[in-house]
A and B are shown apart, each in its own frame.
Chain A
Amino acid sequence: NAGVTQTPKFQVLKTGQSMTLQCAQDMNHNSMYWYRQDPGMGLRLIYYSASEGTTDKGEVPNGYNVSRLNKREFSLRLESAAPSQTSVYFCASSGDDWTQYFGPGTRLTVL
């Protein structure tokens, strides 16, 4: 089992560019999540998906969109990147016991 995988690991964007962060899990979990973590801060929930076909906003959804493509995959899209979106992005998934398993993260810099 690979657990939760994320691509890319690193990305540099210019202001206004768009990109999609990919996340996949092989644990057959229903729920998936996207968080961002700024330096010296805790994680803040951007969006989550309780099951395939459903998504809902978290604490900081502005500037992001998500797609729950199937049970395995949950992508995060930045339509027009801004410097304030420079952060480390973590994807997570959870099963029936709600324990969240995290991916290795994507370090995004927006210039």
Chain B
Amino acid sequence: LAKTTQPISMDSYEGQEVNITCSHNNIATNDYITWYQQFPSQGPRFIIQGYKTKVTNEVASLFIPADRKSSTLSLPRVSLSDTAVYYCLVGDMGSRSGATNKLIFGTGTLLAVQP
């Protein structure tokens, strides 16, 4: 399982774009990159997932360079409600065997958005 490294914390202000970078040097060919968001006292919530290049949904964008050794979660125009912990995970999503879907969450990045 590929280990991920991300900043422990980041600060931002409302209305700014926030980019959180995650490094995963040992990513395997079948691994996908997934980001989750966790608010205090709640379970994590799926944000976005990608394999390569760029993925965008209504909440965020995920940028993955060609070598896939890192990825960047981009949150456009954050608000106070985006204050949360963001986890970058790498794992084999292609297998239909649940035995390979053992995700390592790590400690995540605490994003603090201020007015």
Co-complex (A, B): yes
With A40-B107, A42-B106 known, 13 other A-B pairs at CB within 8 A are: A35-B105, A41-B107, A45-B104, A50-B99, A51-B98, A56-B98, A96-B96, A97-B93, A99-B46, A102-B45, A104-B42, A104-B43, A105-B43
Residues of B within 8 Å of A, CB-based: how many?
Answer: 25
Known: A58-B102, A98-B101. A105 touches B42 (CB 8 A): yes
User: Residues of A with Cβ closer than 8 Å to B?
Assistant: 4, 30-31, 35, 40-45, 48-51, 54, 56, 58-59, 90, 92, 94, 96-105
B98 to chain A, nearest CB (A): 2
User: Residues of B with Cβ closer than 8 Å to A?
Assistant: 32, 34, 36, 41-46, 49, 87, 91, 93, 96-99, 101-108
Number of A-B contacts (CB under 8 A): 62
Q: Is the interface of B mostly helix, strand, loop or mixed?
A: loop
Whole-angstrom CA separation of A96 from B45 in the bound complex:
17
- What residue in chain B is nearest A88 (Cβ atoms)? B41
Which of A41, A98, A102 is the one whose CB lies under 8 Å from B44? A102
On whether the beta carbons of A48 and B45 are closer than 8 Å, the reply is no
